[in-house]
Amino acid sequence: MPIYKQDGIKLVPLREKKIDVEKMVQGIVEANLEGVFGIQFVATEFALHSLRVDTLAFDEETNAFVIIEYKRDRSFSVVDQGYAYLALLLNNKADFVLEYNEMTKRNLRKDDIDWSQSRVIFVAQSFTKYQQEAMGFQDLPIELWEVRKYDENLVLFNEIRASEKSESINTVVKGKNADTVSTQIKQYTIDDHIKPDWTEAREIFEELTSQIHQIDQSFEAKAVRNHIGFRISQSNNVVFNVDPGKSRTRVGLLRTRPQDVNDPEKRVKYIDHSYENWNQHVSVIDITSVSDVGYAVMLIKQVYRRFVE
């Protein structure tokens, strides 16, 4: 898709420039991991056994490691290489935790990590048709991101996504690495959080989704182990999350304290020790009926305006 610069009422196309994905882009990504991918930098060029991880990162939302690899050559299998890195991670958990603790000066244990949410991100200037088609499999803990550079120092990151999901990757890929990954890593869905007989919770979630799309159509819902996170598609920073339950649905307002929002009914509650646990303030509001959704959305809109607009 062409990128234009506006000059009065005239649009001037910006020329695309060639970039060294493995060097220049790695530096840019590592310096801007939170803004680009919403994750924390841990280490660069982390070598273990016969493999080297270009960038090791940590996702505080899922409490899991993320491996980022930069590719200039397109002749590689995203599944085979992705599974090789994931198997390296899962078979050497103590080494990755030690690296994290040494680089961040924290003191996590293996049991503190949600290994089931581990994933690999490949970054390249472009991907082949076959590599892109691999994103159509379900249960694939791998992401593809294209990066382009243009005139005016404009850098564009674009995630490659399949229009629809087909069969599970676990039914297609076999081998030692595949067995390791398939038994320890799980891709969660919204249906994992809302049981079939939770009629009220389903109605609340659907109404909530409908109303937040009126705030911004680019809101996206992504299910992880403990909740469903809502983020703006142009940014990987989660604005709020939803934890459905049979008797109540809890909405988490991220990077927010009760005094940060106008809450006339005083329904927002602060999660004690949230900053110590997740490196950000988190407040919550409980929804017990569809009629409560409008009030929750009023609060979400305030968070959105503070951190997005």
141-198 pLDDT tens trace: 999 999 988 988 888 899 998 777 777 777 777 788 888 898 899 989 999 999 999 9
Segments of 97-237 assigned E as strands = 119-124, 142-150, 154-160, 219-223, 228-232
Domains in the chain: boundaries = 11-184, 190-307
Residue 73 pLDDT > 90: no
Residue 235 pLDDT > 80: no
The architecture in CATH of the region 190-307 reads: Alpha-Beta Complex (3.90)
| pLDDT greater at residue 284 or residue 178 | 284
Does domain 11-184 sit in CATH 3.40.1350?
Answer: yes
Neighbours of 290 (CB within 10 A): 14
CA-based nearest residue to 258, from 294, 228, 287, 282: 282
Task: Write down the pLDDT at residue 151.
Answer: 87
Task: Write down the pLDDT at residue 228.
Answer: 96
Residue 136 pLDDT > 90: no
Same fold for the domain at 11-184 and the one at 190-307?
A: no
